[in-house]
Amino acid sequence: MSLKGRWRITEMPDFEADYPDMVEPAYILFEENGSGEFAFGCSTGHIWQASSTDATSIDFSWSGNDEMDEVSGDGSAELQPDGSLHGEICYNKGDEWLFIARRWASSTAC
Q: What is the pLDDT of residue 97?
A: 95
Query: Long-range contacts for 32-36 (Cβ within 8 Å, ≥24 apart)?
Result: 32/4, 36/60
Residue 62: strand, helix, or coil: strand
Residue 106's pLDDT band, with cuts at 50, 70 and 90, is low
Number of domains in the chain: 1
Determine, yes or no, domain membership for 110. no
Beta carbons of 13 and 3 less than 8 angstroms apart? no
**Which residues sit opposite 90 in a β-bridge?**
74, 96
Determine, yes or no, domain membership for 24. yes
Residue 52: pLDDT over 80: no
Determine, yes or no, domain membership for 15. yes
Residue 109: pLDDT over 90: no
Structural domain containing residue 76 = 5-103
Sheet strands (E) in the chain: 5-11, 27-30, 36-40, 43-50, 57-66, 69-79, 85-91, 96-103
Determine, yes or no, domain membership for 41. yes
CA distance 94 to 109: 39
Residue 24: pLDDT over 90: yes
Q: What is the pLDDT of residue 110?
A: 45
Determine, yes or no, domain membership for 85. yes
CA distance 33 to 109: 27
Percent of the chain with pLDDT over 90: 73
Find the mean pLDDT for residues 84-107: 91
Q: How far is CA 79 from the centre of its chain?
A: 13
